[in-house]
Structure 1
């Protein structure tokens, strides 16, 4: 009998360290899923995939399968042991998406696929917190426009 993996929080500093790691293993091990809707404009975490919360529930099974197959990973890795969800503040949309994803992963994947543990995270303080620390670092934030955030 299996159960949905727990969802944990990751800080902006911890995520930045993973994303900037020179270790091929670390950077290839994480996918960032940004569930902001219209508020996605004005900047994002480099290589984050935008899966808007407004359509997230309808698309979550496809997301699980595509992440499992490496289709959404910037380097095409076949499976990602860490998936980080966030919205603007990670108070509602990000945590809800992470829980929904965890539940869908449990239902969509075979028992053999689920044996590969996956850590599911929510970015504490969301993109707002991340960009306030790293907006000037092009390795971490792209397409930043302060008009949308200040």
Structure 2
């Protein structure tokens, strides 16, 4: 029995390249969905949408509608590990989103690829925390 995930992984460097590419723009060419809860206040990837894990099930329908025309959707939590997919919220949210989208948008106008940020926000901020084009509102209190 083979099991395939409804998403692919993307590295911090690949995401940084997407964000910095011109004329790529958030919510037109890509969307970053951050499912962290209160730790979102300690900084985030520029233009990230915060859909906290504790309310994700209640808001996923809205998110599917909002992101319907976006070709790349990148999910992350603090770590975005897949070994225990149900424990790490980035991969779990990406899976739920992809399943709901397949139900609600059977004939999408735009093909969409769903990604999970490898190593999550922790990995991304450790590499790019000093780059204001990539990270905003960073507070080291939350991350050191």
> Normalising to structure 2: TM-score of the pair?
0.87
Cross-structure match for 2:134 = 140
User: Residue 6 of structure 1: CA displacement?
Assistant: 2.5
Equivalenced residues, count: 134
Call closer, same or farther: CA 1:26–1:50 in 2, change over 3 Å.
closer
CA offset digits 1:50-97 (Å, max 9, x no partner): 0000010111111101112xxxxxxxxxx1100000000012100000
Is the deviation greater in 99-108 or in 57-66?
57-66
Q: Say if 1:56 and 1:26 are closer, same or farther in 2 by CA, change over 3 A.
A: same
Report if the CA contact (8 A) 2:18-2:24 is conserved: no
Residues 1:25 and 1:44: Cα distance change in structure 2 (over 3 Å):
closer
Q: What's the counterpart of residue 12 of structure 1?
A: 12
Per-residue CA distance 1:9-64 (angstroms, 9 max, x = gap): 00000000000012x14764110000001121110000000000001011111110
* Equivalent-residue separation in structure 2 for 1:94 and 1:29 (angstroms): 20
1:5 deviation in Å?
Answer: 8.0
Aligned partner of residue 42 in structure 2, secondary structure = coil
1:72 aligned residue: none
Distance 1:26 1:48 in 2: 12
Identify the match of residue 83 of structure 1 among 52, 62, 73: 73
Unaligned runs of 5+ in 2: 82-87
What's the RMSD between the two structures over aligned residues? Answer: 1.7
Report the Cα offset of residue 116 of structure 1: 2.6
Cα distance in 1 between the residues matched to 2:107 and 2:51: 26
Q: Is the 8 A contact 2:32 2:47 kept in 1?
A: yes
Matched, 1:103 2:93: no
**Matched ranges for 1:45-124 at <5 A:** 45-68=45-68, 79-91=69-81, 92-109=88-105, 111-113=106-108, 116-124=110-118
Gaps of 5+ in 1: 69-78
Give the helix-richer structure, 1 or 2: 1
Q: Give the equivalent residue in structure 2 for 1:40.
A: 40
Counterpart CA distance in 2 for 1:126 and 1:107 is 27
TM-score, length-normalised on structure 1? 0.84
